[in-house]
Homo-oligomer: A and B are copies of this chain.
Amino acid sequence: MGAHQQLVRENDTIDDVFVVQSGWTCIYKLLPDGGRQVLAFPLPGDIVGISFLTLGRALIALESISEAEVSPLSAAALARVRANHPRVARALDWSHARDVAILTEHLVNLGRRSALVRTGHFIIECAERLRLLGFDTDGGFDLPLNQYLLADALGLTSIHLNRVLRQLREADLATFRAGKFVIHDIKALRELAGFDGAYLAPPPRMP
């Protein structure tokens, strides 16, 4: 599927979850005044919409932001796999718990961190998530977003985000250009962000 395809709209009735197989996606909510808050960027392996099966309808929208593969999975199929494969069921539970942990950290980010620290935290989180997926993020990583989308995730205007990115660049911490983050000094960036990756850690013992 191409970039910028809408897979779920707010208030859609839902019978499937969506399994991201490759590429970048985002989930968001719109506001009456036209604003948008990006809630998360589900990555390959992530499952979107588990809770909306229970609620009966989507409270958020889902969109691809790069070329992406996203597979719908019916509630019935999900229930079957859960029933027949306890280890998979546990993995699903863990995945969902981690999603909530990421959402929670995002909330903290918006509520209690300055634009600069918040942006730094976001960068480290992305790098860490990609690293756990097996990507090498030492020097940086692809993040195929424009600054509008990034700003909507970070609760900033795109203009202010632009200035924050310049600060990061001028402090030789990280550079964002053409959909790529280059990290110059990950140690300093982690320190700036006060990053504690415990919420991303895989479970103690999992298949």
B-binding residues in A (CB < 8 A): 11, 29, 31-33, 35-37, 39, 51-52, 54-56, 59-60, 90, 93-94, 96-98, 100-101, 103-104, 106-108, 110-113, 154-155, 194, 198-199, 203-204
Contacts and interface: CB of A to CB of B under 8 A. Distances in A.
Query: Copies per complex?
Result: 2
Contact of A39 (B36, B37, B107): B107
A36 to B, nearest CB: 8
24 contacts: A11-B198, A29-B104, A29-B108, A31-B113, A33-B194, A37-B108, A37-B111, A37-B112, A39-B104, A51-B96, A51-B97, A51-B100, A51-B101, A52-B97, A54-B90, A54-B94, A54-B96, A54-B97, A55-B94, A55-B97, A59-B101, A100-B100, A103-B103, A103-B104
A77 to B, nearest CB: 17
Nearest to A196: B32
Given A37-B112, A111-B110, A199 B104 contact: no
Nearest to A100: B51
A135 to B, nearest CB: 23
Contacts of A106: 107
Contacts of A37: 107-108, 111-112
Contact of A104 (B36, B59, B194): B59
A204 B57 CA distance: 10
